[in-house]
Structure 1
Amino acid sequence: MSAQFQGSLFDTADEPTLVPLADGLVRHDLTHGAWVDVRPRWVDGADDLFAHLHDHVSWRADEREMYERVVAVPRLLAWFGERSAWPHPVLDEARERLGDHYESELGGRFATAGLCLYRDGQDSVAWHGDRIGRSRTHDTMVAIVSLGSPRRLALRPRGGGESLSFTLGSGDLLVMGGSCQRTWEHAIPKTAKPVGPRISVQLRPRGVG
């Protein structure tokens, strides 16, 4: 599998590394106790990290039942648990850095990593909230590290209301917290624009899916 995308002009590191998290981290308060933190260009050398994950992760294609038929999930997937060997040391470091920063607010540490490979603009994820496990009833966090081509992450209140969106570039971090998984939904919409591949790394606490 080969990947073609426009590399970032901001990458300066010889290998993937994390810059300070708190510097440049901006919180956006939503409604019903939900919030989103955004830290642009948290990963320096993000293009190299994208290439490593793209070429070395064992991606799988899943199927799901929809409208009484089985259809292909429009993205490739991978998952790494607490006892798994994660596919790059910088992801282990990201897990620890996020834990150090958010533990007092989260009441725990980040534990798992789900990876999605969006191959082009037709790969997407529909409106949803991560409400499997304790996130169905309790506040939690999902941290997303975006790598590769920029894509729009859209959010809207559950049940309807005004939406907003963030265009995530390579190396950007977005953290959804508070009641966000219960009271809001998020999506990566399809786009007709020519876009290259993107990898999303979603870090979650134990018991959140």
Structure 2
Amino acid sequence: MHALQGSLFDQTDEIRLGPLRGMRRTDLGAGAWVDHLPGWLTGADALFESLAADVPWHAERRQMYDREVAVPRLLSYYRAGEMLPHPVLTEARTALSRHYADELGEPFVTAGLCLYRDGRDSVAWHGDRTGRSATEDTMVAILSVGDPRDLAIRPRDGGPTLLRLPLGHGDLVVMGGSCQRTMEHAVPKSTRAVGPRISIQFRTRGVA
């Protein structure tokens, strides 16, 4: 794993969340939208180091067509009711549940973590359509720490990329409305020399 290149703009070990005002919403059409707030978390490099060391990361293998392949990232998952690996993640989940209460109508309850070790780690085009999100509008909120990696979003039936956001160093993105059903998102591989990144995905009940 490459070494993390710290942010020049976040030189503090105090890990804390900022306010959620200033969120910018992009309407993607077909009932889908994305909210984006750069630098929601300060002390993001310190949180990265804590999570990289303390989270029980594991590798997975998945069936793809006629062969089994390694998932190109490390994973960890925290079910509803399980203690999260750092108090600020619990605080973030609570703040997001409160902020989106009127639109979402329910709290975020789970947390999935992904560790992208370098530019070879990635996520292919997909929507989070396992469970209720296959038929219902929902939200997925992602907090990123570490070196920025692009999150790309395009229509599910193909077509050009509608949005590409470099996420890292405490950035927040929330995909809402019909986004998981009508859009796909990916973290493409990078040929650039990039350091590691951790994303924390908060989801509601019955969404994966």
TM-score category of the 2 structures, normalised to the smaller one? over 0.9
TM-score (norm 2): 0.97
2:72 and 2:29 map into 1 onto residues whose CA distance is 30
Residue aligned with 2:190, SS: coil
Aligned residue for 1:207, secondary structure, equals: coil
* Aligned 8 A contact 2:4 2:146 in 1: yes
Show the counterpart of 2:102.
104
Aligned to 2:60, what secondary structure does the other structure show? strand
Conserved? CA contact 1:147–1:170, under 8 Å: yes
The structural deviation recorded for 1:20 is: 0.5
**1:53 Cα deviation after fit:** 0.2
Q: How does 1:92-171 map to 2 (within 5 A)?
A: 92-163=90-161, 164-171=163-170
Match of 2:69 among 56, 68, 71: 71
| Structure 1 outlier segments of 4+, above 3 Å | none
Alignment of 1:1-209 (within 5 A): 4-22=3-21, 24-163=22-161, 164-209=163-208
Against the structure 1 CA distance between its residues 3 and 15, is the aligned structure 2 distance closer, same or farther, given a 3 Å change threshold?
farther
Give the Å deviation of 1:168.
Answer: 1.0
Percent identity reads 62
8 Å Cα contact 1:39-1:172 kept in structure 2? yes
Cα deviation code 1:48-105 (max 9, x no counterpart):
0000000000000000011211110000000011221110000000000000100110
d(CA) in 1 for partners of 2:117, 2:11: 25
Deviation at 1:184, TM superposition (A): 0.1
> Is contact 1:3-1:51 (8 Å) kept?
no
Inter-partner Cα distance in structure 2 for 1:110 and 1:13: 28
Instruction: Name the aligned partner's letter for residue 14 of structure 1.
Output: D
Are the counterparts in 1 of residues 2 and 118 from structure 2 also a CA contact under 8 Å?
Answer: no
Distance change >3 Å, CA 139–CA 208, structure 1 → 2:
same
1-side partners of 2:168 and 2:53: how far apart?
20
Give, in angstroms, the shift of residue 162 of structure 1: 2.3
How far, CA to CA, are the matches of 1:129 and 1:14 in structure 2? 35
Structure 1: how far apart are the matches of 2:97 and 2:2? 31
Amino acid paired to 1:53: L
Counterpart of 2:125, as a letter, is W
Q: How far apart, CA to CA, are the structure 1 residues paired with 2:138 and 2:42?
A: 27
Q: Aligned Cα RMSD in Å?
A: 1.1
CA distance in structure 1 between the partners assigned to 2:80 and 2:12 by the alignment: 28
Query: Any idea what SS the aligned residue of 1:61 has?
Result: coil
Q: Is this contact kept in 1: 2:78–2:110, CA < 8 A?
A: yes
The CA deviation at 1:142 is 0.2
Count of matched residue pairs: 207
- Provide TM-score, normalisation by structure 1: 0.96
On the 8 A contact 2:156/2:183 being kept in 1, the answer is yes
Deviates most, 159-168 or 11-20: 11-20
CA contact (8 A) 1:141 1:205 kept: yes
Structure 1 unaligned regions, length at least 5: none
Offset of 1:3 from its aligned partner? 5.9
